[in-house]
Structure 1
Amino acid sequence: MKTSEIRQRWLDYFGERGHTVVPSASLVSEDPTVMFTIAGMVPFIPYLTGLIPAPYPRATSVQKCIRTNDIEEVGKTPRHGTFFQMTGNFSFGDYFKKGAIEYAWDLLTTSESDGGYGFSEKDLWVTVYKDDDEAIALWKSIAGLPDERIQRLDKDTNYWSTGHPGPAGPSSEIFFDRGPAYGPDGGPATDDDRYVEIWNLVFMQYEIENVRSKTEFDIVRELPSKNIDTGMGLERVAFLKQGVENMYEIDQVRPVLDRASELSGRRYGADHDDDVRMRVVADHVRSSLMLMSDGVMPSNEGRGYILRRLLRRSVRAMRLLGVEGPTFPELFSASRDAMSPAYPEVARDYDRISQAAYGEEDTFLRTLASGTTILDLAVDSSKKTGSSVLAGDTAFLLHDTYGFPIDLTLEIADEAGLTVDRDAFDSLMSQQKQRAKADAKNKKSQVADLSVYSAFRALGETQFLGYTEMTADSRVLGIIVDGESVTSAAAGQTAEVILSETALYAESGGQDADKGTIVGDGFELEVLDVQRPVKGLISHTVTVTRGVVSVDAAATTVVDAEYRRGARQAHSGTHVIHAALRQILGPNAHQSGSYNKAGYLRLDFSWNQALSRETLTEIEEISNNAIRDNLDVVTREMPLDEAKSLGAMALFGEKYGDVVRVVDIGGPWSRELCAGTHVSTSSEIGMINLVNESSVGSTNRRVESLVGLEAFDDLAAERAIVRELTASLKTPREQLPGRITDLVASLKQAEKKIKEYEQQAQAQRVPELLGTVETVGATRVVAQSLGSMGSADDVRTLVTTVRERLGSEPAVVALAANVKDRPVIIIATNEAARSAGIRAGQLVRTAAGVLGGGGGGKDDMAQGGGQDPAAIPAALTSVVDAVTS
């Protein structure tokens, strides 16, 4: 049974039984405390917790998920994968335990010919929370399971909560027994790979408080409306139904594994380590493909960093399989073909996805090349000192700074006959993780506690009237201070105010929140921020500047008209620049992020190379021509499918409802889904002035622009500079570039002549220095102070020249100088001196110790320094003494 068929059977089964079929949400989580959608129930959490009234009594979905907390286990077990699909059925106050158990058992054990999955009842086990006698009784009566195949487990495995006060409840899990060939008897309680969990049923029936840990909390009451949340692992059922050993061998994943095998020439199944690497490649390539299809791009932070890590682990695994060249064109196309039947957008957006993936692979292969060079030098240095161990801090530097995997460091060191100081490396890695944990200490890893908003959201959605109104009369529904709901807030306090209506725009879609005030009888509030903490609710963060604001008070929101005008100009300007970019660069230049505020905008877009000055000028010209042409800006609301059929572009990672707002500028020239505020005609934007273009990752670029009056002010400032230059240089404006070029050329020529004079002056010092030679034993020594010098390079040049002039007899040259108020000493030895055991590095460390600093280098030349120029004579004396000894 193909994975796509298992998926469709699930949706058909529950759809036919009154469940609303809900499309998968994006892998990019709406929850600001969680980067990715990590479970099938995540999109339904607001309904399950009562934060938002459920729009349907029962629902079903097949949800795309990403989890990376067990990334090191990928490939080693049959069930760990970063990308997976979780099927789920949900009840919001409708059916409860009996219905959930009946549905699960029926679908699993009904024959394939009758639309079920056809599992044999004798192979199925269940676990329940140890005190849930009701669930045990239901399993016996519905499924006829004997006592020995129902195992009672504790809260750590069979109890669900958000980790915060609120809904919670016991769970029951269904396991498939793979048979004695896969492990000992004993059931799921053995926690053995023989028993594979395929379905988890959560019975959300209690309210908990005083949450102290995952297993320590107080149950205070039963919920008046009980919910069901279940999830079945699609990949786990697929590998069981397809008769393969693990999830990496199912039809949606195996093609990538096979391609990795072909490219490497290694047979899958022949070697355990190679098998793990192929499974890592198969999992990570698929996960990366799906992340990028939802708009995530490689970067050095957040979601982009996780994606980059997956891509680089794939490259590393192929490298360890013996493939050093690019492989993504082969691997990603195999994954595309396997996944597109279930997710057509993967094929539709493949040009954009592949461009990003190939660029990242190319960048990392260059990183590996440079890391290998550094590693080779470190290996060579270790060998020269007679050590058989590569320092742990070197391995950590390669890993942390260059992204060079420790596996490759171990491999290359082993080939050179060295081991790596793993204890030191692991210690440094541990310290780094502790720093990361400390940095994230205040960030919640579980579901955000938004319960304070639930009572307000239950009153309905906040109406946003700001598209057409700059003021709006409203009523105060709630006030929050320090996370707690209160009845009032007084002058000087900062609070969140929830209103029934507002004209103030909440930050979203890249547009900054409005500025403004909220006024009422006896109070005035300065608006600091406007956000949407939960879907449908707008919260205003305010400072009470006068009086006392209370719940139920009448209030009027007043938008700062000047700021709103600037924000509208910037947001419409973003659409115009995006259209101009696509007109010049083509459809692959797709917006990947933006930020707009009054007078300023930035636009991130998918592209893998810098834009030339000529291209930027062309983009700016097209944008300002669109402004000059006074194009109509039209906004319409329509069903999402209709908007897409009209060609409206959506921003990857943004969430859209069934009804969307479409913004047209010049008709189809710019047609995007957007909930922001906009101008009425393009001429209201005023002016676009592109001020910067930069990289935000190997496959993303960023353009920044000033808009409107700010754009004019910036150009006026440049005009003032030009006027000043024309006056100073007595040159007409149109001749300034040539005049400045001539001046720069003249300056370079003068600097060149000065350098030549300095070199001549130095050369004249060589005879003087040769006249100071003293013989120490069998070695000729020059040890002199040069006084003040411009740079250490000048000192090095003299040292090298003097050494060459001393001939082939043993010789040491030690010259010191005051360089920018710091003592510098450089020492050189010739071959005869080194043969006699005299090493420049050892001598310079001796001298640097006298100077109050440090130094080092090779046997033939070394450099040191310190803090005290007055100690230079003593340092030189110490060199002579060291040669004597």
Structure 2
Amino acid sequence: MEKKGLNEIRKMFLDYFHLKGHLVRPSFPLVPQNDKSLLLINAGMAPLKSYFSGVEVPPSKRMATSQKCIRTGDIENVGRTARHATFFEMLGNFSFGDYFKEESILWAWEFVTEHLKMPVDKLWASIYLEDDEAFEIWKEKVGLPEEKIVRLGKEDNFWEIGLGPCGPCSEIYYDRGEKYGCANEACKPGCDCDRYIEFWNLVFTQFDKDEEGNYNLLPNPNIDTGMGLERVACIMQDVDSIFEIDTMKYILDNVCTITNKKYNEGDQQNISLRVITDHIRAVTFMVSDGILPSNEGRGYVLRRLLRRAARHGKTLGVEKSFLYLLVDTIIKVFGETYTELEEKQDYIKRVIQVEEERFQETIHQGLDILNQYIVELETAEKDTLQGQNAFKLYDTYGFPIDLTKEILEEKGLKIDIQGFEEEMSQQRQRARQARSGEDVVGWKEDVFTKLNKEIETEFKGYENLKATGKILAIVKDNEIVNEAGVEEEAIVILDETTFYSEGGGQVGDVGKVYNEIFEGNILDTKKGINNRVHHIVKITKGTLVVGDTVTVEVDENVRKNTARNHSATHILHKALKEIIGQHVQQAGSLVTPERLRFDFTHFEGLTLEEIAKIEEKVNQQIWNAAQIIVMETTPKEAKAMGAEALFGEKYGETVRVVKIGDYSTELCGGTHLKNSSEISMFLIVSEGGIASGVRRIEALTGIEAYKYVKNQQGVLEKAGELLKTPTNNIINRLETFISESKEKEREISKLKAKLATGNVDEIVAKAKTINGTKVIIEKVEVEGMEDLRKVGDTLKEKIQSGVILLASVSDGKVNFVATVTKDIVNKGVHAGSLVKEAAKITGGGGGGRPDMAQAGGKNSEKIQEALEKVESLLNNQLNG
């Protein structure tokens, strides 16, 4: 058997099935499209579910892909085993009602034996227990000996997810030899030992499971196969671990270089090196598909992987950010196949670097929290950190459990490992429950799937606003009907329309529909499956009947205003790249007749100067009166033109390019103007963050921008009246008012502080003595934390030795300050612990050093309760 590289195996597979009449499609993004049942694509067939279920018509009855996948269900095993990985590629050939078992098995056998040249004597097959048809094909058509065809039960060789399409499987195994076996003479595929590797699963989707549990034969059975590329590479390269195949070893070697560590010099070191190797590959692909770190959903998966890799870097002694340096390594290995990696190289590195730097800050927070836990343990004279606290450090702050254990041991303390493992187990269970059953949703049908698959709508709305079309279907109250009457609302599908359906951030068109005896208003237009356009119609006259011919007419003013905002987003995108950096990528948009919203990737807020420059740059392109040219071409030619593609967008063999002068060139299916001057005016009204690494600009164009300016002008004039000054002097007048106001506030604050410090003797006189220690616990009337600290310092000088805890209320907020003299700190009293307990009662938090600390709270009504709690704590500590 000839050794072959991973990239070579992928190409051989896709080339082979191309020759067998399959449409070879590039991998779908890791972010599912039009499928809310999945967080991330986790199998080769996942992006094709709508084709298997019959909801959508596939572009070809035969397809083949090498699909990027992410699975994190066994993340704790990654790095510890030879085969677990979070990112992997799944090779698959698919048939949608075309060929079936015989072709699937024969082609798989031919590819494995004649192209990959795996030795026949090393190959076995498994089939479903009751699948005699597959048995006969393997035995009679392939010629595999009967003893090498293993029948397995439903758990192993029957594929189903809840209800819907399902069927038996046949798997191909490779025999690695007796040295990997269990010494059992009956050992064969299905055994738990490591001798037989299953590497290709052929799923024969021939049944439709109904709600009563019946398996009904599908009229057009499907084929879905999955072959793990990394697993095949292990076989072809005769290695035991996926980390030893050519692509992974190249990444691993670079991890070793950057961390200055060697592979195979200790189990724990190996685990860390493998985790970093796997996770940086997964993270790089996820970011390239538009996923950004966050605290929920797929963004949380990305953040968790990245921080887990960074943690393992720390265990190897790497204290600074380093993961982003490995991105170049990933791209060198995979960039030729996945060109999006090269296109987004700088962007990917920047996202990873920023997240790494944030993690550095977070882990320092974790260290502060751990130190607080240690103080609390020592104060309470306990020696074991609770498992839930250790888990919080791990899960919230990314603090490695081993590091927690090591620091505690230095202090003579222990950790409740069992409690920690219980928390980890509960988290895994929550994750499993969140995933379980979700996939079933992806197979559910709605009323539109029951329509004839041949029903399609031809869109003719780029050049025309008016068209005549035939009514092909009407849906009312979620049912397919033949007609709808006055005052009813229905979804109407025509054979032709000029109405643009909502997509690409642009809202759907509105307008009217009519004929000689019927009238209605089209309130919105949505995109349906199988190239259908759904017109949401409110009927105002007559009856709408399937088969009738009607005229549809788009509201020209609404369409024009929408086009203004859409063309402006293209110019804005380019301006952002020029002003703040080429790393900027569109992360979402909303284009309506009234306004535009543009989300983009950037890692800090824009300055007023940057916003002004961006606004000016966009308006300059408007004033240049650039011609807007729209053309259709191939993706390759569009790329050569420098056309900007959007993350996650699905592009076919023909793409639509929108070119605004020599300034902006983007792929886009939306409606646009003929000339940039028609935008008239562009005005940014807000800019802010909406997620980690994602900013949002909201802007107005045309008449809405003009209205906004007139309104602001009115506000200025009213402000001038109130300030009794001309509008051009408002700023000077306000600065004077603010300066005078601040001066008065300072005077008031000084007077209050003077009053408070003047009462020091009175406060000292109220001091209590607990076991020989002077204790002052008081609420005082001062403004702000600074004044409260001053009073505390004055009291400390006065009593020389003791404990002081003061509280005050300022602007509805509660402030606490605690001061403990050095001799009392030595008795075990901790200022940080005291204010933390007080703040907790008032709905806040805080902490600090043993001798000085401050905190804040929200509920001023609980101040007395908080002070009593502190006094109780001090009684226990000082009398203990």
Q: TM-score, normalised by structure 2?
A: 0.87
1:136 deviates by 0.4
Partner of 1:478: 473
Alignment partner of 2:799 out of 806, 817, 831:
806
> Secondary structure of 2:629's match?
strand
Moved more, 265-274 or 445-454: 445-454
Q: Deviations over 1:613-649 (max 9, x none)?
A: 2222111112112222322222112222222222221
Partner of 2:32: 29
Q: Deviations over 1:311-331 (max 9, x none)?
A: 222212222222222222432
Partner of 1:505: 500
Partners in 1 of 2:139 and 2:873 — Cα distance? 91
Residue type of the partner of 1:169? Answer: G
From the superposition, tell whether residues 555 and 314 of structure 1 become closer, same or farther in structure 2 (CA, over 3 Å): farther
> Secondary structure of 2:647's match?
coil
Counterpart check, 1:195 vs 2:196: yes
Partners in 2 of 1:307 and 1:61 — Cα distance? 24
> Secondary structure of 2:597's match?
strand
Partner of 2:350: 355
Partner of 2:16: 13
From the superposition, tell whether residues 840 and 29 of structure 1 become closer, same or farther in structure 2 (CA, over 3 Å): closer
Partner of 2:755: 761
Moved more, 415-424 or 836-845: 836-845
Task: Within 5 Å, give how 1:837-848 maps onto structure 2.
Answer: none
From the superposition, tell whether residues 623 and 776 of structure 1 become closer, same or farther in structure 2 (CA, over 3 Å): closer
Q: Deviations over 1:785-832 (max 9, x none)?
A: 76x655677566445423432345xx6667777878999998866567
Partners in 2 of 1:444 and 1:527 — Cα distance? 35
Whether contact under 8 Å (1:19, 1:59) holds in the other structure is yes
Residue type of the partner of 2:671? Answer: T
Moved more, 445-454 or 305-314: 445-454
Partner of 2:173: 175
> Secondary structure of 2:651's match?
coil
Whether contact under 8 Å (1:784, 1:876) holds in the other structure is no
Counterpart check, 1:3 vs 2:6: yes
Length, aligned pairs only: 869
Partners in 2 of 1:409 and 1:545 — Cα distance? 70
Whether contact under 8 Å (2:324, 2:350) holds in the other structure is no
Partner of 1:692: 686
Counterpart check, 1:677 vs 2:671: yes
Alignment partner of 1:221 out of 207, 217, 222:
217
> Secondary structure of 2:583's match?
coil
Whether contact under 8 Å (2:492, 2:537) holds in the other structure is yes
> Secondary structure of 1:637's match?
strand
Alignment partner of 2:65 out of 56, 61, 65:
61
Task: Within 5 Å, give how 1:609-758 maps onto structure 2.
Answer: 609-666=604-661, 668-697=662-691, 699-758=693-752
1:236 deviates by 0.9
Whether contact under 8 Å (1:812, 1:829) holds in the other structure is yes
Partners in 2 of 1:783 and 1:415 — Cα distance? 35
Partners in 2 of 1:814 and 1:14 — Cα distance? 77
> Secondary structure of 2:235's match?
helix
Whether contact under 8 Å (2:166, 2:209) holds in the other structure is no
From the superposition, tell whether residues 708 and 853 of structure 1 become closer, same or farther in structure 2 (CA, over 3 Å): closer
Partners in 2 of 1:881 and 1:267 — Cα distance? 56
1:835 deviates by 7.9
Give the unaligned 5+ runs of structure 2. none
1:659 deviates by 0.9
Partners in 2 of 1:588 and 1:343 — Cα distance? 19
> Secondary structure of 2:190's match?
helix
From the superposition, tell whether residues 504 and 783 of structure 1 become closer, same or farther in structure 2 (CA, over 3 Å): closer
From the superposition, tell whether residues 124 and 632 of structure 1 become closer, same or farther in structure 2 (CA, over 3 Å): same
Whether contact under 8 Å (1:789, 1:795) holds in the other structure is yes
> Secondary structure of 2:451's match?
helix
Alignment partner of 1:575 out of 570, 577, 596:
570
Partner of 1:373: 368
From the superposition, tell whether residues 533 and 701 of structure 1 become closer, same or farther in structure 2 (CA, over 3 Å): same
Task: Within 5 Å, give how 1:778-857 maps onto structure 2.
Answer: 790=783, 797-807=790-800
Partners in 2 of 1:851 and 1:374 — Cα distance? 20
Partners in 2 of 1:104 and 1:721 — Cα distance? 74
From the superposition, tell whether residues 21 and 791 of structure 1 become closer, same or farther in structure 2 (CA, over 3 Å): closer
Alignment partner of 1:95 out of 93, 99, 102:
99
From the superposition, tell whether residues 515 and 379 of structure 1 become closer, same or farther in structure 2 (CA, over 3 Å): farther
Partners in 1 of 2:748 and 2:28 — Cα distance? 67
Task: Within 5 Å, give how 1:366-405 maps onto structure 2.
Answer: 366-405=361-400
Give the unaligned 5+ runs of structure 1. 111-115
> Secondary structure of 2:247's match?
coil
Partner of 1:122: 121
Partners in 1 of 2:828 and 2:870 — Cα distance? 19
Percent identical pairs in the alignment equals 38
From the superposition, tell whether residues 595 and 803 of structure 1 become closer, same or farther in structure 2 (CA, over 3 Å): same
Partners in 1 of 2:21 and 2:194 — Cα distance? 35
Residue type of the partner of 2:170? Answer: S
Whether contact under 8 Å (1:355, 1:699) holds in the other structure is no
From the superposition, tell whether residues 468 and 243 of structure 1 become closer, same or farther in structure 2 (CA, over 3 Å): same
Moved more, 763-772 or 328-337: 763-772
Whether contact under 8 Å (1:336, 1:347) holds in the other structure is yes
Whether contact under 8 Å (2:41, 2:68) holds in the other structure is yes
Partners in 2 of 1:879 and 1:32 — Cα distance? 55
Counterpart check, 1:255 vs 2:250: yes
> Secondary structure of 1:706's match?
strand
Task: Within 5 Å, give how 1:112-511 maps onto structure 2.
Answer: 116-161=115-160, 163-165=162-164, 167-184=165-182, 185=184, 186-206=187-207, 208-211=208-211, 217-223=213-219, 225-406=220-401, 408-414=403-409, 416-422=411-417, 424-425=419-420, 444=439, 447-450=442-445, 452-456=447-451, 458-480=453-475, 485-487=480-482, 496-511=491-506
1:173 deviates by 0.8
1:360 deviates by 2.0
Residue type of the partner of 1:262? Answer: T
Counterpart check, 1:73 vs 2:77: yes
From the superposition, tell whether residues 160 and 715 of structure 1 become closer, same or farther in structure 2 (CA, over 3 Å): same
From the superposition, tell whether residues 10 and 291 of structure 1 become closer, same or farther in structure 2 (CA, over 3 Å): same
From the superposition, tell whether residues 752 and 525 of structure 1 become closer, same or farther in structure 2 (CA, over 3 Å): same
Q: Deviations over 1:347-396 (max 9, x none)?
A: 34322222222222222222222322332333344334332222344334
> Secondary structure of 2:649's match?
coil
Whether contact under 8 Å (1:591, 1:603) holds in the other structure is yes
Whether contact under 8 Å (2:777, 2:867) holds in the other structure is no
> Secondary structure of 2:463's match?
coil
Whether contact under 8 Å (2:766, 2:776) holds in the other structure is yes
Q: TM-score, normalised by structure 1?
A: 0.86
From the superposition, tell whether residues 67 and 804 of structure 1 become closer, same or farther in structure 2 (CA, over 3 Å): same
Partners in 1 of 2:434 and 2:538 — Cα distance? 29
From the superposition, tell whether residues 556 and 427 of structure 1 become closer, same or farther in structure 2 (CA, over 3 Å): farther
1:689 deviates by 1.0
1:7 deviates by 1.7
Q: Deviations over 1:707-746 (max 9, x none)?
A: 2222222222322222223333334434433333333233
1:482 deviates by 6.7
Partners in 1 of 2:509 and 2:35 — Cα distance? 21
Residue type of the partner of 2:32? Answer: S
From the superposition, tell whether residues 130 and 437 of structure 1 become closer, same or farther in structure 2 (CA, over 3 Å): closer
1:177 deviates by 1.8
